[in-house]
Amino acid sequence: MLGKLILTILVLGGGAFLLLSDGFEVFISPYADAAISDIEDIKNDPETQTKFNHALDAIYENLAKIKFSFNDFF
Beta-carbon-side half-sphere exposure of residue 70 (alpha carbons within 13 Å): 6
Please give the pLDDT value at position 55: 93
Please give the pLDDT value at position 56: 93
DSSP 22: T
Distances (CA, A) of 48 to 37, 39, 51: 15, 11, 5
Give 28-56 pLDDT, tens digit per residue: 788 888 888 888 888 888 888 899 899 99
Please give the pLDDT value at position 40: 87
Report whether pLDDT(64) > 70.
Answer: yes
Residue ranges of the domains in the chain? 2-73
Give 4-37 pLDDT, tens digit per residue: 888 898 898 888 777 776 676 777 788 888 888 8
Distances (CA, A) of 5 to 13, 14, 15: 12, 14, 15
Angle at 4 between CA 28 and CA 13, to 5 degrees: 30
